[in-house]
Amino acid sequence: MALQESGEMYLETIFILSQKQKYVRSLDVAEYMGFSKPSVSRAVGRLKSDGYITSDSDGHLSLTQQGIEIANKIYERHTLLTQFLVHLGVDEEIATQDACKMEHDISDESFNALKKHFEAQK
């Protein structure tokens, strides 16, 4: 089953937060994303049942291997697309917002071509 954009955003957020802090809770995700606790709770439940995340008895969230793979993919896209747009002269804040929209829809083929081109320009 294909993961929806919102699910990808949750996985990316958990990934980013786990790089900054030892434990990630649903509350941390809600605060980072600006979403309500009930919305995050529903999403976390779906991601757990689909095998993308786990939680321990204290409510600490962890990405499964499958969750890590998706989060890494989305985060790499976000980072590279932001850098590419900034390189083209787009304001960093706008580039970040646009990259967030683009990262979910761009095909693997197009992203890999952009990545190859961007890295060749460095």
For residues 11 and 52, state if they share a domain. yes
Domain count, the chain: 2
Separation of alpha carbons 113 and 37, rounded Å? 39
Residue 5 pLDDT: 83
Question: What does pLDDT average to over the chain?
Answer: 93
Q: CATH code at 82?
A: 1.10.60.10
pLDDT (tens digit per residue) in 26-65: 999 999 999 999 999 999 999 999 999 999 999 999 999 9
- Where do runs of H (alpha helix) occur along 53-122? 65-87, 92-102, 108-121
For residues 116 and 81, state if they share a domain. yes
pLDDT confidence of 10, banded at 50, 70, 90?
very high
Domain of residue 101: give its range: 74-121
For residues 55 and 78, state if they share a domain. no
Query: Does position 2 have pLDDT exceeding 70, yes or no?
Result: no
For residues 64 and 48, state if they share a domain. yes
Residue 54 pLDDT: 97
Q: CATH code at 23?
A: 1.10.10.10
For residues 36 and 17, state if they share a domain. yes
* % pLDDT > 70, the chain: 98
Q: Which residues contact 55 (CB under 8 A, 6 or more apart)?
A: 44, 48, 61, 62
